Amino acid sequence: EEEEAKLQNGGFLPCPAGGVPSGTALEETLRSCRLRSEAERRGGAAAESPSPPRSPGGDAGSRALAAPGARTCRDRAEPAALPPAPLGFTDVNLNSRNTYEVSRRRSAPEHLPHGGTAPAEPAPPSQEPAERARHRVGIAGAGSSFAEFFTRNFFTKRTKELKPAVQSAPGWKLFGKVPPRENLPKDSKIIQQEYEARTGRMYKPPPPSARRKNIEFEPLSTTALILEDRPANLPAKSVEEALRHRQEYDEMVAEAKKREIKEAHKRKKIMRERFKQEENIASAMVIWVNEILPNWEGMRATRRVRELWWQGLPPSVRGKVWSLAVGNELNITPELYEIFLSRAKERWKSFSETSSENDMEDAGTSVADREASLELIKLDISRTFPSLYIFQKGGPYHDLLHSVLGAYTCYRPDVGYVQGMSLIAAVLILNLEEADAFIAFANLLNKPCQLAFFRVDHSMMLKYFAAFEVFFEENLPKLFLHFKSYSLTPDIYLIDWIFTLYSKSLPLDLACRVWDVFCRDGEEFLFRTGLGILRLYEDILLQMDFIHIAQFLTKLPEDITSEKLFSCIAAIQMQNSNKKWAQVFASLMKDNKEGDKNHSPAPKS
């Protein structure tokens, strides 16, 4: 019966009938346990150590420590038969950590003492419940308590300290595992200092006087790859390999320093040339303003003025000199410009109102006027010096350029608007006022060469090309034969140069200097400039075929300088058999007229 009762009660005997403690007694028991645990903790008793064998005196001492007059469940059940037992709880398997220990305790004998040996003789039947209770108290441990149990099982179960999470080092990865690296990424300067400390080579900073002041250079950008040690899962660098890496790093730094120094010297050279050019321009401006312009007609043909002209006009007087050099043979006045501008605005308004071609024909609109429509001019203006952003829509010179081109189409309806005119008008607007720019633009396009090209006069254009080839063969015979072998004619590259007066092919400042001498020498200098460009790139062009030559001459290199170009232009001699450009061109015109007479049909009788 006792065994069945123990099985039903988790392996232990239930409390006897009538001996169940009330709520007050249970509270007193819990209070005594708490006081006892506090007293033992003050005395320094270990929580896990077993308690020594108890005696009646010890039990009385523990009772005195717990609480005087405290009563337990066992005291109420047998108030006079047994001596007072130490305070504690019945073992209810709370200390068991697994089911294996529970089963072991259930199968073990109930009367084994704490030491594990059997008793000498069984206890009397009347004292069996009390002895079992005392025995179970001994199994649970007399030195343990309720607070110690919770402390031991819930808070001191794991004695090992948790290691903080270590992030994987960003480095090489072998077989899917990266060794942990607790050190943070090092700065390149720290790595260099560690390397120097390890190899014994100390870094000595240069004196402040030897440091470069104008060159900002940081040579430590590659130390993370060269000077840093390998990860822990790879073989370490040998001394020879570390020295070789250090030597390679020094070579790279030295090469970068040389390149930086070379670029710095190049920039200084450009700045010196620019300062020198500005000084020359400032001194030349004084001469032009005070001496030449007041006496223009008497000094324009002198040798001194021509030499100053060749060196380039100062920007402050460039527009004025261009207007005087081009002249005004057409006798255009600012008032006339306003008249043609108002007429152009009316024409644009009528174009916007009439949408059909029949309406435009009924209004008497010619083909040239239709070509000079607002849409065509707008399209070309948007492509005029796009890098400057001043002639595009919304720019400060957009409406001004539109007005000059529109007024010219009304002034010369026989020429109309042709692509390339916008670049010429834009260069003039950058240096002249609106009315003066229109006057110079109209007179410039009235020159024989420009008029032949913009009116697309094929016969005149061929004569200009023929005259160009005469001086081409005279000055550059090898390149001339090379072009002839590929049947590369001058019209492939000259048309674009002449149409825009080199304002599209050359940088703007260099094109303005070409314009300076063009206003002095006339159309001859345009073809001389073309020969100078061919002379400048002769060695490169001799190694190219037809396609590459055409592409190269259509888009010239942007790094071309005025000094190199004008030195090549000066080397071109515009004489052939003691004949100058004008004489050669006149002879070609004469031969063409005689050929026309010979090929003309005879008159009928």
Query: Could you report the per-residue pLDDT of 544-567, keeping only the tens digit for each?
Result: 999 999 999 999 998 898 889 999
DSSP state of 605: -
Measured in residues, the chain has a length of: 605
Higher pLDDT, 116 or 425: 425
Higher pLDDT, 344 or 155: 344
Task: Show Cβ contacts of residue 96 under 8 Å, excluding neighbours closer than 6 positions.
Answer: 102, 105
CA dihedral 560, 469, 423, 330 (to 10 degrees): 130
**Could you give the CA distance from residue 568 to residue 571 in angstroms, rounded to a whole number?**
5
**Could you give the CA distance from residue 544 to residue 300 in angstroms, rounded to a whole number?**
43
Task: Name the E strands within 389-430.
Answer: none
**Could you give the CA distance from residue 75 to residue 130 in angstroms, rounded to a whole number?**
10
Computed over every residue of the chain, the mean pLDDT equals 73
How far apart, in Å, are the Cα atoms of 4 and each of 1, 8, 10, 116, 127?
5, 6, 10, 24, 20
The sign of the CA dihedral 145, 148, 150, 156 is negative
**Could you give the CA distance from residue 482 to residue 534 in angstroms, rounded to a whole number?**
12
**Could you give the CA distance from residue 383 to residue 389 in angstroms, rounded to a whole number?**
10
pLDDT, average across residues 370-379: 65
For the ranges 127-136, 417-426, 450-459, which has the lowest average pLDDT?
A: 127-136
For the ranges 107-116, 451-460, 501-510, which has the lowest average pLDDT?
A: 107-116
Kindly report the number of other CB atoms within 10 A of residue 72's CB atom: 22
**Token pair in block for residue 89:** 């709880």
- b/e for 527-538, b at 16 or more Cβ within 10 A? bbbbbbbbbbbe
**Could you give the CA distance from residue 36 to residue 65 in angstroms, rounded to a whole number?**
6
Query: Could you report the per-residue pLDDT of 221-253, keeping only the tens digit for each?
Result: 555 466 777 778 888 888 888 888 888 888 888
**Could you give the CA distance from residue 340 to residue 325 in angstroms, rounded to a whole number?**
24
Percentage above 90 pLDDT, the chain? 38
Query: Could you report the per-residue pLDDT of 345-358, keeping only the tens digit for each?
Result: 888 777 766 644 44
Q: What is the pLDDT of residue 517?
A: 95
- Model confidence at 580: pLDDT above 70: yes
**Could you give the CA distance from residue 83 to residue 133 in angstroms, rounded to a whole number?**
13
Query: Could you report the per-residue pLDDT of 67-93, keeping only the tens digit for each?
Result: 444 444 344 444 444 444 444 444 444
Residue pair 385/364 in contact (Cβ under 8 Å)? The answer is no
Backbone angles phi, psi at 152, to 5 degrees: -75, -40
**Token pair in block for residue 410:** 């009304």
- Model confidence at 117: pLDDT above 50: no
Q: What is the pLDDT of residue 365?
A: 47
DSSP symbols for 106-139: HHS-TT--TTS---SSPPPGGGHHHHHHHHHHHH
Residue pair 10/96 in contact (Cβ under 8 Å)? The answer is no
Task: Show Cβ contacts of residue 496 under 8 Å, excluding neighbours closer than 6 positions.
Answer: 504, 505, 554
Is the pTM higher than 0.95? The answer reads no
Residue pair 449/498 in contact (Cβ under 8 Å)? The answer is yes
Percentage above 70 pLDDT, the chain? 57
Q: How far is CA 369 from the centre of its chain?
A: 49
Reported confidence tier of residue 216, pLDDT bands at 50, 70, 90: very low
What secondary structure, in 3-state letters, does 277-321 show?
HHHHHHHHHHHHHHHHHHHHHHHCCCHHHHHHHHCCCCHHHHHHH
Residue found under tokens 């001004």: 400
pLDDT, average across residues 571-589: 87
The burial of 485, by beta-carbon neighbours within 10 Å (0-12 exposed, 13-18 middle, 19 or more buried), is given as: exposed
Higher pLDDT, 182 or 401: 401
Q: What is the pLDDT of residue 353?
A: 64
Nearest to 348 by CA among 285, 406, 399, 279: 406
